[in-house]
Structure 1
């Protein structure tokens, strides 16, 4: 007997409610149309998308994979310059897209689990029907999840799903916060930094019959005299630094050093009957002053070793060598008087300018150049020399022992001085550092030259500082005109990718909770033998609250109703419900007493 005939006979013996029930689950269009949905391929698709948890497992796998890709990308580029990111799409855009994928696929199984738990909620004790509604809206968004969380008082397993939904709202923010772009200094290889230093002193003009020094050196003398507080920040050394941020290795340069000693004790005073007093030094340098006037100053330069006899100076042998070294440029004696605080006190200074070698440490940051002298070697003794074609001495060579200027290693330890350049500089300094200051016939101050005025304006107590400024200015002038360069490293300020891994702990915890929640829900479903209906609307329509169906369910089973009618007992899967739904046509009609209320009825 055909299957539909059996069903029809069974329905004739049923009550009206049972017949209605059978009609809902029996396909009216014949077995041929019904059988086409039971092919192997379509059956597998129904199992994959409807009956099993495979889709949820797949979604969770994609979410975990997205999180793993995020971690991998950040690990690969952490600590690297931002320009090392090779793609046109920005890193933040990629992270945002991956975070969206992670959250979307993570919430898909979480919402499915909440929908499944609404069925499991009623497998135990009797519960309020309102809970069914709360479970349903909890699977749809944060507001429902918050309601369910308080409904369950944070205690039931479904609370995990609600917490995951709420925590997922901030996962994007935590992920974005984990990546920063601080500015760091980074070496740049395509540019080279350089700074001048002097290995040789060979600066003179030979247009005239005798050599004379170059204008930059004369200008350096004036700069030193009129710069009262000359520091390295006021240095005329300008490095080549394309980016304004550069570092240089420690280096040495030929330099000019100064030393001054107070020789006031060597002054000899001669008083004349006319009221004129004469203050003189053993080298013949003297200052004449009238007893009624004050504020006089006299400067006198000499070439070669100090003309003051060594036995008149309380100096040790190391200090004397600075005065008598072949590298000595000039000696200058200064006699001054008329200090406002000590109007009748006269002082005398003996100063020397000589070649020396200095080591430096330099850097430039934000276009501010800073150069610091590290060490100095002043005992330059002529090691070798060279002669010109005429047989005259042409160049002195000075060697720095390895025990001095140790920070520069083996670099540039030999320096040279051209004799014609030295003679030209000595002649120029002998002329420039010569002058007097006194009162003229009208009683006003008069200066023989600008250098004398500069020394007087600086003060008689700052003679040593003035000569130190002159030495530094001469050193800078030699270096600026030199062709030697120390190569440094160009630094650029560029953003780096910095990952703060603690911020990534938040999305990791959220994904982990969602995995645990999925596993617990599947485990509990299998233990309860409740079908995996999840959020199926068909399951609600088929197994919703209906008093007539509830009354007849037990009799259906007792009478042994065969075929599709037996599936109405509550054991069918979602795939079976989908097959049934495609075969059943319904219509929304008014029903109940006096036609009030609406319901779906089979047509």
Structure 2
């Protein structure tokens, strides 16, 4: 460069070889480079050739292929989702993994065309008709590399430039993986997995093993049903009655059912069972103070001779108070005949069967409120002091009184078993209401002090839903006796208290002179405030389970065995975001191709995100110095006296304009200065 030649835009480029570059002898062998570097150079040259092509498609070939790859991945995802929709996950476990991989490829493939398009729009931005702020170059460069720069670009262009669409897409790409993840859901549902079995009984006929005494076969009644006794006895004395009870609607399995999975369901079915009912009879009680045989006190020895009952005066609530034999159900013995407020032994609770034992005589015709029910197992009056305490007796509060019955019936049931919990709903109950003769017959043998009891009723139940050819529901007479004898233990029974500070005692087997037993009362289900009606229902359910569990009588019916199965649910709405991103990316790429189509025909070229133009068209020294001064950096890119604006003219390099403290050009020799603002 001569002294008389003015400084031109191209002079900012180092065109001469480095002065310290060593000269190589012609005899020296050529320098060998690594093969990997050769491959890299070849790839870069190939890309440069495509970018320099006059064919618009070739210039953007890799971006088009990238968008096509994303579209193919999304199409494949849609096809896989359509085939997996509402299908079990086990059908194709790798399906969701493949979808995840494809979604990653689809989202990653959109990054390249957006980044490259923003990079090309950067050169077009500075190749426009107006000069741009020099720091716009850095904003565009950051936008082509990530979301932060894209946010800055959106603010810089105020959304009015095509590059702003690319910046927006870059920001939205951050959320595309989240939307892909929401497309599929993995709920669980119950699927059929075989059959569950549950027992039912048409006719209850347990098979007792024969026992002998001196070559004499003992009666099955004398043997007693030990399984039935083991289930029923706890209901007479214990809080929960049986280990199977949890709460009102759920229980652990009390049946010998079979369920191969964690859940089984059975449709409606019928089985013989036991039903219960209770009716309030407190209105039948009358308060009085009467002289009477004190049959209810603890030390009365038995019913055989009334002489064994001491006489005395008692105050309390009586049944049939006006009759010749009123029965006190709750009250106290008067300790001092001259003072009826002198409290002696107190009766807290009394159960009175309306069919006596062992003579089987009927009281009140065997029932008060259930005269239309045949084949009853038990009809009894259960009366307790108002709150189960001795104080309520002294306060003359009306006792809690019920008549309760248990009867053979046919139940229509719907059952289910889930996670160890058995649920049973009684949909319908059939009770025999046909009037039958009094079924009990007894003969007393005083020499042996034995009462021979026969049950002559024929228990045969035909629900309306059954056809005449169907076998009748029922049981044998001996089996009826087996149940009845077990209830004789606590019906009749009573709870008395010697005085206000004494512990209550339960007196059972009061029908017999030589079998009376006293028990301490930790809990009694018949004593208020316990719910007698609910307790009788639980007894009926327990007896029904015993009947249905008898291996000699039952049969098993099949139900559905279900198991939890994970299946795939497709939420198509979440796919709309990804498809919209694909569509906008295609639109942005196409618009960029159209907008920059002339860049490949003029001297600017298609550089995209390449850094080569910044090397080729480097800024002059004065401009570089002005952009890197501390004053400019402190004041920011858009403030202060050192503001610099640039414009790219490929034939002349960077056009730099702005206010400088001194002329950025130096005349070499003579000649005129450069126009204001030009370097």
TM-score (norm: length of structure 1): 0.64
Q: For the Cα contact (< 8 Å) 1:305–1:331, is it kept in 2?
A: no
2: CA distance, partners of 1:492 / 1:341: 54
1: CA distance, partners of 2:550 / 2:600: 95
Counterpart among 254, 264, 267 of residue 237 in structure 1: 254
Q: For the Cα contact (< 8 Å) 1:252–1:357, is it kept in 2?
A: yes
Secondary structure (helix, strand or coil) at the match of 1:484 reads strand
Q: CA deviation at 1:503?
A: 3.8
Q: CA deviation at 1:349?
A: 6.4
Secondary structure (helix, strand or coil) at the match of 2:346 reads coil
Q: For the Cα contact (< 8 Å) 1:382–1:396, is it kept in 2?
A: no
Secondary structure (helix, strand or coil) at the match of 1:249 reads coil
Structure 1 vs Structure 2 CA RMSD: 5.2
Q: CA deviation at 1:514?
A: 0.8
2: CA distance, partners of 1:52 / 1:545: 25
2: CA distance, partners of 1:256 / 1:394: 17
Q: Which residue of 2 aligns with 1:576?
A: none
Q: Which residue of 1 aligns with 2:60?
A: 53
Q: How does 1:340-355 map to 2 (within 5 A)?
A: 340-342=391-393, 351-355=404-408
Counterpart among 226, 243, 258 of residue 237 in structure 2: 226
Q: For the Cα contact (< 8 Å) 1:198–1:484, is it kept in 2?
A: yes
Q: Deviations over 1:523-562 (max 9, x none)?
A: 2234777466243869849984799xxxxxxxxxxxxxxx
Q: Deviations over 1:322-375 (max 9, x none)?
A: 1xx2x3334446688896523588998654432012233433444333333333
Counterpart among 95, 102, 119 of residue 98 in structure 1: 102
Change beyond 3 A, Cα 1:84–1:180: same
Q: CA deviation at 1:172?
A: 2.0
The structure richer in helix per residue is: 1
Q: Which residue of 1 aligns with 2:461?
A: 398
Q: How does 1:144-183 map to 2 (within 5 A)?
A: 144-182=149-187
Q: CA deviation at 1:516?
A: 0.9
Say yes or no: does 1:329 pair with 2:329.
Answer: no
Say yes or no: does 1:62 pair with 2:69.
Answer: yes
Q: How does 1:204-353 map to 2 (within 5 A)?
A: 205-208=208-211, 209-212=218-221, 213-228=224-239, 231-233=248-250, 237-238=254-255, 239-260=257-278, 262=281, 265=284, 271=292, 275-276=311-312, 291-292=334-335, 293-296=344-347, 297=350, 299-300=352-353, 301-302=355-356, 307-310=362-365, 315=369, 319-322=370-373, 325=374, 327-332=375-380, 340-342=391-393, 351-353=404-406
Q: Which residue of 2 aligns with 1:12?
A: none
Change beyond 3 A, Cα 1:458–1:217: same
Q: For the Cα contact (< 8 Å) 1:264–1:346, is it kept in 2?
A: no
Change beyond 3 A, Cα 1:509–1:263: closer
Point out where structure 1 has 5 or more consecutive residues left out of the alignment.
1-16, 24-41, 384-391, 404-408, 548-568, 572-592, 594-603
Q: For the Cα contact (< 8 Å) 1:332–1:351, is it kept in 2?
A: yes
Q: Which residue of 2 aligns with 1:514?
A: 585
Indicate the larger mover: 459-468 or 413-422.
459-468
Q: CA deviation at 1:64?
A: 1.2
Secondary structure (helix, strand or coil) at the match of 1:205 reads coil
How many equivalent pairs are there?
490
Change beyond 3 A, Cα 1:514–1:195: same
Q: Which residue of 2 aligns with 1:533?
A: 606
Secondary structure (helix, strand or coil) at the match of 1:155 reads coil
Point out where structure 2 has 5 or more consecutive residues left out of the alignment.
1-9, 17-48, 212-217, 242-247, 295-309, 336-343, 437-454, 510-515, 621-648, 652-667, 669-679
1: CA distance, partners of 2:577 / 2:178: 10
Q: Which residue of 2 aligns with 1:121?
A: 125
TM-score (norm: length of structure 2): 0.58
Say yes or no: does 1:480 pair with 2:528.
Answer: no
2: CA distance, partners of 1:382 / 1:81: 58
Indicate the larger mover: 238-247 or 169-178.
238-247
Q: Which residue of 2 aligns with 1:589?
A: none
1: CA distance, partners of 2:292 / 2:619: 138
Change beyond 3 A, Cα 1:394–1:341: closer
Q: CA deviation at 1:122?
A: 4.7
Q: CA deviation at 1:276?
A: 3.7
Say yes or no: does 1:195 pair with 2:198.
Answer: yes
Q: How does 1:562-581 map to 2 (within 5 A)?
A: none
